[in-house]
Chains A and B, each alone.
Chain A
Amino acid sequence: MSTKGTSLKGLLLVTLLVSHMLLTKEGVTSLPICPNGSVNCQLSLEELFDRAVKLSHYIHFLSSEMFNEFDERYAQGRGFIAKAVNSCHTASLTTPEDKEQAQQIHHEDLLNIILGVLRSWNDPLIHLASEVQRIKEAPETILWKAVEIEEQNKRLLEGMEKIVGRVQSGEVENDIYTPWDGLPSLQLADEDSRLFAFYNLLHCLRRDSHKIDNYLKVLKCRLIHDNNC
């Protein structure tokens, strides 16, 4: 009987793994690494962009879902929507707001802007991942997504720095960056205010991840496919 039990457990485990894999297929699957694995191994710019676009899409997807879940769970009936036109902390960065602007901006500048936004989100994401756990009865999916977004953001930042290193002729500008000072609001004692702070942050995250995703796709089509995606 014990063998039956273990085989059942094994079957259940396999089923869970497979279903997890299928459910998260939107996620970033492992991409082929450098075939040689040696020092001289270099990914092509196209591959770098491919990976960056995949990552940015994934991050935006997770942010969207996380926001929707949070909205469903906590924001209903609290009138958050009406107030959610608050500015995000990255609003001070000058980013292209429509297609024309995105087309006209120089690709190096656009890359720097992307980097700046990513860097600005580094800190908030870390705190988000830790603070969201203090929310009363936070669903596991939200917790998991917060951690995942933070991780993927780091990876995207690394990838972008590589791309910038390849593409940029001059020096890399490091000064595009906005600090975040929203941590105290995430730790407010008043639950309503605290939840609103989270709502805001998640809303901003969704927006900024969409921006980055879009900018990267535009750059990819421009630089790699010559405006003919």
Chain B
Amino acid sequence: DFLQRPQISKCRSPEMETFSCFWTAGNFYNLTVPRILQLLYKKSNEEDWKECPDYITSGQNSCYFNASYTSVWTPYCVQLASKNEVYDKKCFSVDEIVLPDPPVHLNWTLLNTSQTGIHGDIQVRWDPPPTADVRKGWITLEYELQYKEVNETKWKELKPRLSTVAPLYSLKTARDYEIRIRSRQRTSEKFGEFSEILYVSFSQIGIECDRCTEEVEFPWFLVVVFGVCGLAVTVISIMLSKQPRLKMLIFPPVPVPKIKGIDPDLLKKGKLDEVNSILACHDIYKTQLYSDDLWVEFIELDIEDPDEKNRASDTDRLLSEDHLKSHNCLGAKDDDSGRASCCEPDIPETDFSTSDTCDATSDSDQFKKATEKEEDLLCLDRQDNDESLPSFANTDPQGQHRNTQSENSLLWAPFGDSVESSRPSVHTQISNQNSLTSTDFYAQVSDITPAGRVVLSPGQKSKLGRAQREGCTEQNFTVDSTYFCEADVKKCIAVTSPEENEPHVQEQGYNEDGYFTTESLTTTVANLGASTAAPPSSETPVADYTSIHIVQSPQGLVLNATALPVPDKEFNVSCGYVSADQLNKIMP
């Protein structure tokens, strides 16, 4: 029993047109002394306190201010006082104390039922509280609907809405529901009182649920949740587990695109030379070089640009490497790095000084060698129907293993006899762009270097005597059995505008071997006949050659093994072929 002062409990306006204040009397005084509590009010712009105009309408301990006393946005102060004492005071403005009456005339209609008849949708309608003048827009109301099953305790809520209709979905037709609604002014936070409860019973309108026994609902939700969690846990544990086999079983590695023999990382990050070397080992890339006809029309030749020689251009290297590497792609184990196929440690360095190691480094040396090779190729590819026999000289790399020319002749002399016999076979193997009868000199150009060198295709390459490259003056054409390119000769003879297919003449003093068919040589020589220089080949011992054992891709020929002892060092792998026994030596 503690003392309670009389106090104003609340002031409320239901429609923003009138308002009422309520108070509690408290037990301050004993009941014998009549207490006269007054409610006084004052508008902010007034000086005097006035007494409440209506103590009755709102009930006991209340004061009702009707519309004439109400000014909406005017601040009021009310105080609860008796004659002597002020017990409580409150200040407010009417717009702040708006609490609407509950909605009226609730009803519901059936929208539809599910196919099984277990669930149904209904729509609830109601009217705004009659006191609120919504139609004239004086007050804007928001409604909140709550519903629950009859025997439940907790109400479910819908979101506040402005309209006076609300659908309720998926109610169970076997159950009864209760619905109640309350409203508030739109920008307020507080809701008014709840409306009367509306009872929803499907049986009332004749919806009977046949199969609606008290079923235990399958806890689908739980099943799904737990299933997903378990799956996630399993997946994560597998991913994190150290067992590679299990991991491989569940998550097989996705095969990345891979070309056998090429390491994709190398392609991304490796040096260009390495890439070149690797690409060169694969025939699929080489075949690109020999596409027909594309290049014939677009040959550009720059004459004598000495600077170009020293430019280690990528294309040069690519091409040169290509030619170089092709011969090394034998008997290598593929370990997917792409380089193993180029690894042939057994091949002596005579001819492919740059190409026997996998880490083909680019340097000017290599470039020079490359250009050498190109020239050989060029010479070789101009296959004409020469009758003169080729002569073989040892291929001579730059500064290494230089064979004397006498050796050359010695070396290859025994072959001479077999030349004739093997001519047909050789000839058949030769790329078919040569015709016996054709006296025109042409060859198919397979590629063009930026330096203007033309790479002719395909087929046997030869290393031609480059002895003449230093210049005609230096060379002694007739010295040995070295056979060299017509181009060289021509160049020496007449430095004229190049033919389409005329290659450069390098000023290098090498003796290279060249292998020609007899036909080609003959033709070449025949063409040379016009020129003054006597082809050296005519004076040299008859070039020797063997029959072709295997034609290995466009750039290689494997010759038949002969009885000729071939020193290991002088590995007579010319521009593009190995003899069979040499091949055997190479291969493990």
Residues of A at the B interface (CB closer than 8 Å) are 57, 60-61, 64, 81-82, 84-85, 87, 91, 95, 97-100, 102-103, 207, 210-211, 213-214, 217-222, 225, 227-229
Contact call A102/B75, Cβ cutoff below 8 A:
no
Contact call B135/A227, Cβ cutoff below 8 A:
yes
Q: Contacts A82-B91, A84-B91, A214-B138; is A98 near B186 (CB within 8 Å)?
A: no
A210 touches which of B44, B74, B95 (Cβ 8 Å): B95
Provide the residues of chain A in CB contact with B133, threshold 8 Å. 99
Known: A99-B136, A213-B187, A221-B136. 8 other contacts (CB 8 A): A100-B67, A207-B73, A207-B93, A210-B187, A217-B138, A217-B140, A218-B138, A220-B137
- Which chain B residue has the least Cβ–Cβ distance from A82? B91
Contact call B136/A85, Cβ cutoff below 8 A:
no
Provide the residues of chain A in CB contact with B17, threshold 8 Å. 98-99
Q: Tell me how far the C-beta of B66 lies from the nearest C-beta in chain A, rounded to whole angstroms.
A: 11
Contact call A229/B77, Cβ cutoff below 8 A:
no
Contact call A221/B67, Cβ cutoff below 8 A:
no
Provide the residues of chain A in CB contact with B70, threshold 8 Å. 98
Q: Tell me how far the C-beta of B99 lies from the nearest C-beta in chain A, rounded to whole angstroms.
A: 15
> Can you list 27 A-B pairs with a CB-CB distance of less than 8 A?
A57-B186, A81-B91, A85-B44, A85-B77, A85-B91, A97-B72, A97-B74, A98-B17, A98-B70, A98-B71, A99-B16, A99-B136, A99-B138, A210-B187, A211-B73, A214-B138, A217-B138, A217-B140, A218-B136, A219-B137, A220-B137, A221-B135, A222-B137, A228-B135, A229-B134, A229-B135, A229-B136
Give the one of A87, A211, A219, A229 with max B CB within 10 A: A229
Q: Tell me how far the C-beta of A36 lies from the nearest C-beta in chain B, rounded to whole angstroms.
A: 31
Instruction: Give Cα A122–Cα B140 distance, bound, in whole angstroms.
Output: 26
Report if B151 contacts A (CB, 8 A): no
Contact call B93/A57, Cβ cutoff below 8 A:
no
Instruction: Give Cα A81–Cα B90 distance, bound, in whole angstroms.
Output: 9
Instruction: Give Cα A57–Cα B140 distance, bound, in whole angstroms.
Output: 11
Provide the residues of chain A in CB contact with B137, threshold 8 Å. 214, 217-222, 225, 229
Provide the residues of chain B in CB contact with A98, threshold 8 Å. 17, 67, 70-72
Provide the residues of chain B in CB contact with A228, threshold 8 Å. 135
Provide the residues of chain A in CB contact with B71, threshold 8 Å. 97-98
Q: Would you give the 0/1 interface string for B173-184, flagging 1 where the beta carbon is closer than 8 Å to chain A?
A: 000000000000
Instruction: Give Cα A213–Cα B187 distance, bound, in whole angstroms.
Output: 10
Q: Ordered nearest first, which 6 A-B pairs have the shortest CB separation?
A: A221-B137, A97-B71, A217-B137, A85-B75, A85-B44, A218-B137
Q: Tell me how far the C-beta of B263 lies from the nearest C-beta in chain A, rounded to whole angstroms.
A: 24
A95 touches which of B45, B73, B93 (Cβ 8 Å): B73
Contact call A97/B91, Cβ cutoff below 8 A:
no
Instruction: Give Cα A221–Cα B138 distance, bound, in whole angstroms.
Output: 9
Provide the residues of chain B in CB contact with A103, threshold 8 Å. 136
Q: Would you give the 0/1 interface string for B7-20, flagging 1 where the beta carbon is closer than 8 Å to chain A?
A: 00000000011000
Instruction: Give Cα A217–Cα B137 distance, bound, in whole angstroms.
Output: 5
Provide the residues of chain A in CB contact with B45, threshold 8 Å. 87, 91
Residues of B at the A interface (CB closer than 8 Å) are 16-17, 44-45, 67, 70-75, 77, 91, 93, 95, 133-138, 140, 186-187
Provide the residues of chain B in CB contact with A220, threshold 8 Å. 137
Provide the residues of chain B in CB contact with A64, threshold 8 Å. 187
Instruction: Give Cα A207–Cα B44 distance, bound, in whole angstroms.
Output: 14
Instruction: Give Cα A91–Cα B93 distance, bound, in whole angstroms.
Output: 14
Provide the residues of chain A in CB contact with B75, threshold 8 Å. 84-85
Provide the residues of chain B in CB contact with A222, threshold 8 Å. 136-137
Instruction: Give Cα A211–Cα B73 distance, bound, in whole angstroms.
Output: 8
Provide the residues of chain A in CB contact with B134, threshold 8 Å. 229
Instruction: Give Cα A61–Cα B140 distance, bound, in whole angstroms.
Output: 13
Q: Tell me how far the C-beta of A105 lies from the nearest C-beta in chain B, rounded to whole angstroms.
A: 13
Instruction: Give Cα A116–Cα B71 distance, bound, in whole angstroms.
Output: 20
Contact call B135/A97, Cβ cutoff below 8 A:
no
Instruction: Give Cα A19–Cα B93 distance, bound, in whole angstroms.
Output: 35
Q: Tell me how far the C-beta of B40 lies from the nearest C-beta in chain A, rounded to whole angstroms.
A: 15
Provide the residues of chain B in CB contact with A60, threshold 8 Å. 187
- Which chain B residue has the least Cβ–Cβ distance from A61? B187
Provide the residues of chain B in CB contact with A210, threshold 8 Å. 73, 95, 187
Q: Tell me how far the C-beta of B171 lies from the nearest C-beta in chain A, rounded to whole angstroms.
A: 28
Instruction: Give Cα A60–Cα B185 distance, bound, in whole angstroms.
Output: 13
Contact call B73/A97, Cβ cutoff below 8 A:
yes
Instruction: Give Cα A77–Cα B489 distance, bound, in whole angstroms.
Output: 112
Q: Tell me how far the C-beta of A225 lies from the nearest C-beta in chain B, rounded to whole angstroms.
A: 8
Instruction: Give Cα A219–Cα B45 distance, bound, in whole angstroms.
Output: 28
Instruction: Give Cα A227–Cα B75 distance, bound, in whole angstroms.
Output: 29
Q: Tell me how far the C-beta of A194 lies from the nearest C-beta in chain B, rounded to whole angstroms.
A: 22
- Which chain A residue has the least Cβ–Cβ distance from B16? A99
Provide the residues of chain B in CB contact with A219, threshold 8 Å. 137
A207 touches which of B67, B95, B135, B140 (Cβ 8 Å): B95
Provide the residues of chain A in CB contact with B135, threshold 8 Å. 221, 227-229
Provide the residues of chain A in CB contact with B186, threshold 8 Å. 57
Instruction: Give Cα A97–Cα B73 distance, bound, in whole angstroms.
Output: 6
- Which chain B residue has the least Cβ–Cβ distance from A60? B187
Instruction: Give Cα A219–Cα B44 distance, bound, in whole angstroms.
Output: 28
Provide the residues of chain B in CB contact with A221, threshold 8 Å. 135-137
Q: Tell me how far the C-beta of A177 lies from the nearest C-beta in chain B, rounded to whole angstroms.
A: 19
Instruction: Give Cα A84–Cα B76 distance, bound, in whole angstroms.
Output: 11
Q: Tell me how far the C-beta of B46 lies from the nearest C-beta in chain A, rounded to whole angstroms.
A: 11
Contact call B138/A102, Cβ cutoff below 8 A:
yes
Provide the residues of chain B in CB contact with A229, threshold 8 Å. 134-137
Q: Tell me how far the C-beta of B152 lies from the nearest C-beta in chain A, rounded to whole angstroms.
A: 30
- Which chain B residue has the least Cβ–Cβ distance from A63? B187
Q: Tell me how far the C-beta of A228 lies from the nearest C-beta in chain B, rounded to whole angstroms.
A: 6
Contact call B136/A57, Cβ cutoff below 8 A:
no
Instruction: Give Cα A210–Cα B137 distance, bound, in whole angstroms.
Output: 13
Provide the residues of chain B in CB contact with A85, threshold 8 Å. 44, 75, 77, 91
Q: Tell me how far the C-beta of B423 lies from the nearest C-beta in chain A, rounded to whole angstroms.
A: 66
Provide the residues of chain A in CB contact with B138, threshold 8 Å. 99, 102, 214, 217-218
Give the one of B16, B45, B91, B138 with max A CB within 10 A: B138
- Which chain B residue has the least Cβ–Cβ distance from A225? B137
Q: Tell me how far the C-beta of B64 lies from the nearest C-beta in chain A, rounded to whole angstroms.
A: 15
- Which chain B residue has the least Cβ–Cβ distance from A90? B73
Provide the residues of chain B in CB contact with A81, threshold 8 Å. 91
Instruction: Give Cα A87–Cα B44 distance, bound, in whole angstroms.
Output: 8
- Which chain B residue has the least Cβ–Cβ distance from A103? B136
Give the one of A91, A98, A207 with max B CB within 10 A: A98
Instruction: Give Cα A76–Cα B334 distance, bound, in whole angstroms.
Output: 83
